[in-house]
Each structure stands twice: as C-alpha cells, then as structure tokens.
Amino acid sequence: MRLRSLPLMLTVLLATWPAAARTTRIDDSATLPYASSLAVQWEQPSPRRPVNNLMSGTLTLRVRLNVTPWLHRSGRIYLTLPAQQPGPMSVSWATQGKLLPGQLTSGSRVLVYSGPITAPFIEDVLELTLRVDGTRLRQQQYHVNFNFEMDE
C-alpha cells in the first residue's frame, strides 16, 4: 500500500513544484554600433559642495535581438550589466517603445520586455546613459559588457 502510493505522491509533488525559470542569453550581435566608444565627462566639472565625483556619458544604440528560438512563445527579456571593472556603475536608458525604459546598477538586471514573441527580431533604439565613479578610472579606457537574457 505504501509502496504503491509513493510514485503517486512523487508525481503530485513534481506537478506542484514550480518550474525553475530557464535563462538564456540572447544573440544581439546585430545591435549597432555593436562595440561603441563613450566619452564620459565629469557631471560636476568643479568639485563644489556637495562634491559629486560621477562621470557620465550618453550614446544611442539600435538594439536588434534575435529571438528566433522563442518565436510564437512568451518570454521575459532582461538587460543585464555584470559586475566588472572599473567598479560600480549605473545605467539608465530611454526607448522608442518596443522595449521598456529603465535603469540598473552593475551586477543586476532589469526587465525590458515581457510578452509574446511574434517576430524573429525585436528592435528598438536605446538612448543609454552610463554613470561611473570618476575616481575609479585609473586606465585610459574600460570595456563594459552588457547582456540580454531571456527567461522562459
């Protein structure tokens, strides 16, 4: 009796256990410019009180996400900014409507799309502003990498 009910219990447990979200990095190699340069400037050229040591810059990106693998399904797309050199950064962006505007700090991700995938590509133009502590910029330049991720 006990042995026969065990498989049934397992089946019930498995059925009620929430499916873990599967995260996959999206191919955005068609984004233009794919590798861009951004000259960041002191937000406060003179360290007047209260001193702000942030440097920032804005660039425009034509994002093109290849979502073919998720065509005719639903998903949530996140923009991620992995923790990396030169240290803590924050990014904010405006869009033209296909993706959600938002902001995030390095080491985190933010939802930019949720819904059905009806076309092989999702495209939008992002006005992206990056802010970083200027006192951490010891090198002439840093390569900052972003990712788009799909949660199913």
Partner 1 sequence: MFPRRRDPQRRLGGTAFHKLRWLLTAGLLGAALLGSATAPRAFEVTIAPASPQTIYLQVGVGTFTGTYCSNPCNSYPPIPPNTPTAPNGTPGNNATVNTVSVSVPAAQVGNGTVQTMTTNSTQSESFYDDYAFCNAPAQLYIGGFYRTTTTGNGSINVTATVPAALTDTAGDKLSFGTISWTSSGNADTGTEPFPGATFTPGAVQTIGAIAQNQWAESCWTFSYANTTVVAAGTYTGTVLYTATTP
Q: What are the residues binding partner 1 (CB under 8 A)?
A: 24-29, 31, 34-57, 59, 61, 63, 66, 128, 130, 132, 134-138, 140-148
What one-character DSSP code corresponds to residue 20?
Answer: P
Taking the least distance from each CB to partner 1, the nearer of 11 and 23 is: 23
CB 15, min distance to partner 1, A: 28
How far is the C-alpha of 59 from the C-alpha of 51, rounded, in Å? 25
Taking the least distance from each CB to partner 1, the nearer of 4 and 48 is: 48
> By the 8 A CB rule, do 60 and 128 touch?
yes
CB 39, min distance to partner 1, A: 4
Taking the least distance from each CB to partner 1, the nearer of 6 and 87 is: 87
CB 80, min distance to partner 1, A: 8
Taking the least distance from each CB to partner 1, the nearer of 56 and 112 is: 56
- Give kind and range of the element (H or E) at residue 124: strand 121-133
Measured from the Cβ of residue 60, the count of other Cβ atoms closer than 10 Å reads: 13
CB 115, min distance to partner 1, A: 21
Residue among 92, 94, 119, 112 at smallest CA distance from 103: 92
How far is the C-alpha of 129 from the C-alpha of 60, rounded, in Å? 9
